[in-house]
């Protein structure tokens, strides 16, 4: 593979010639953006173009491989080097259908401003008990019993200190909160006063009032907040998840919320999401708890959000075709065992 790491410098390369195969539904806005970022590049759209155009395809631009190329066989694209996804997460990417020599990139940072706003909306909804208090308004009642949580002077811990985390940090500090972070190495990042390495997650949780999970769902992060981690958090803490639901143990969270009425949670990402049918399933009645608030993975559903994400993803594809090293090449061993 001519590039393997996620960051760092590489010697200049010659432009790459070959075809771009696009799986996203063809529409004028997409075609215009592809033409803008990859001018003069031969481009094919959809699975039906594979039999004729597959042999000179060097890059793919996809949303869901399963949906767009249900019968995909990598032998149809023997020169394929690079796959760029429009979505950020790669937890559901079918790595097993691509040779290890093919580099795959998620759209890292592609939705960051919008997900950051959603995270802050959930922090406020939970901190100010907006839903239970709205219910009081509906009933014509004053004198709420649930106290507000203020951001002023509170410690906000952001798990997974990447693009979304940095966008949250910038926006939340002006409320008077201090920002801590957790990443894999513990190396400092702009926006965080203190960074913990992933193996000190419990210490980081203990030190914080508000926790916002923005981590990718990987073999390491799956279920990494369970009963013990929840117990380590302050009884009055607030947990928001805008990354992937399954980084948190669903049963443990429900139990914790039920047993600790002063603990609050706000979730945007869920354990069971079926985007084909538009169905969100939970195994516990979270929405009936007064200390829980949720949004249906809706952080990036505004019209301009897609345009922003499209440009970010195509910018990375343009790097590939210019012969530059694309950003954010995934380490597939984080998602599938090394032998898969």
* Binding site residues, ligand NAP, CB under 6 A: 88-89, 108-109, 111-112, 115, 159-164, 182-185, 198, 214-218, 220-221, 242-244, 268-269, 297, 299-300
Sign of the CA dihedral with 116 first, then 117, 118, and 119 last: positive
Q: Is 69:124 a contact under the CB 8 Å cutoff? A: no
Residue 74, classed as helix, strand or coil, is helix
Min separation Cβ 203 and ligand NAP, Å: 13
Min separation Cβ 122 and ligand NAP, Å: 10
Min separation Cβ 166 and ligand NAP, Å: 8
Instruction: Tokens for 85, please give them.
Output: 């996804």
Min separation Cβ 278 and ligand NAP, Å: 15
Alpha helices (H) along 105-242: 112-127, 130-139, 163-172, 201-206, 227-232
Of residues 109 and 191, the one with the C-beta less far from ligand NAP = 109
- Which residues, 6+ apart, have CB-to-CB distance to 109 below 8 Å? 88, 162, 163, 164, 312
Farthest CA pair distance, the chain = 70
Distance between first and last Cα of the chain: 17
Min separation Cβ 67 and ligand NAP, Å: 18
Of residues 164 and 238, the one with the C-beta less far from ligand NAP = 164
Of residues 9 and 185, the one with the C-beta less far from ligand NAP = 185
Of residues 34 and 192, the one with the C-beta less far from ligand NAP = 192
Of residues 46 and 296, the one with the C-beta less far from ligand NAP = 296
- 225 strand-pairing partners: 248
Determine the distance from the C-alpha atom of residue 132 to the mean position of all C-alpha atoms in its chain, rounded to a whole number: 28
Min separation Cβ 117 and ligand NAP, Å: 11
Of residues 101 and 301, the one with the C-beta less far from ligand NAP = 301
Q: What are phi and psi of 82, to 5 degrees?
A: -145, 135
d(CA 117, CA 135): 24
């Amino acid at each position: 593979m001519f590039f393997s790491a996620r960051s760092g410098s590489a010697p200049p390369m010659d432009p790459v010639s070959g075809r771009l195969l696009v799986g996203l539904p063809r529409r004028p806005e997409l075609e215009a953006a592809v033409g803008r970022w990859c001018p003069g590049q031969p481009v094919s759209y959809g699975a039906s173009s594979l039999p004729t155009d597959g042999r000179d395809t060097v890059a793919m631009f996809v949303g869901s491989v399963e949906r767009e190329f249900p019968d995909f066989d990598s032998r149809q694209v023997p020169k394929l080097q690079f796959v760029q996804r429009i979505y950020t997460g790669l937890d559901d990417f079918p790595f097993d259908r691509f040779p290890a020599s093919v580099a795959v990139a998620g759209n890292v940072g592609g939705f960051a401003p919008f997900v950051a706003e959603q995270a802050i909306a959930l922090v406020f909804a939970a901190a100010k008990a907006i839903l239970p208090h709205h219910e009081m308004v509906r009933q014509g009642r004053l004198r709420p019993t649930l106290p507000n949580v203020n951001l002023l002077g509170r410690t906000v811990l952001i798990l997974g200190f990447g693009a979304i985390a940095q966008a949250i940090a910038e926006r939340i500090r002006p409320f008077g909160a201090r920002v801590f972070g957790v990443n894999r190495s513990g190396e400092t990042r702009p926006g965080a006063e203190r960074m913990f390495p992933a193996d000190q997650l419990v210490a980081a949780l203990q030190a914080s009032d508000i926790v916002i999970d923005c981590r990718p769902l990987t073999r390491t992060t799956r279920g990494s907040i369970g009963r013990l981690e929840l117990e380590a958090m302050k009884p009055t803490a607030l947990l928001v998840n805008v990354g992937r639901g399954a980084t948190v143990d669903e049963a443990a969270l429900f139990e914790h919320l039920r047993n600790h009425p002063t603990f609050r949670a706000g979730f945007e990402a869920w354990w069971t999401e079926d985007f084909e049918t538009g169905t969100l399933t939970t195994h516990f009645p979270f929405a009936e708890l007064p200390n829980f608030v949720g949004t249906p993975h809706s952080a990036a559903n505004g019209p301009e959000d897609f345009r922003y994400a499209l440009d970010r993803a195509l910018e990375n594809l343009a790097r590939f075709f210019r012969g530059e090293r694309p950003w954010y090449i995934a380490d597939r061993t984080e998602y599938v065992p090394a032998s898969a």
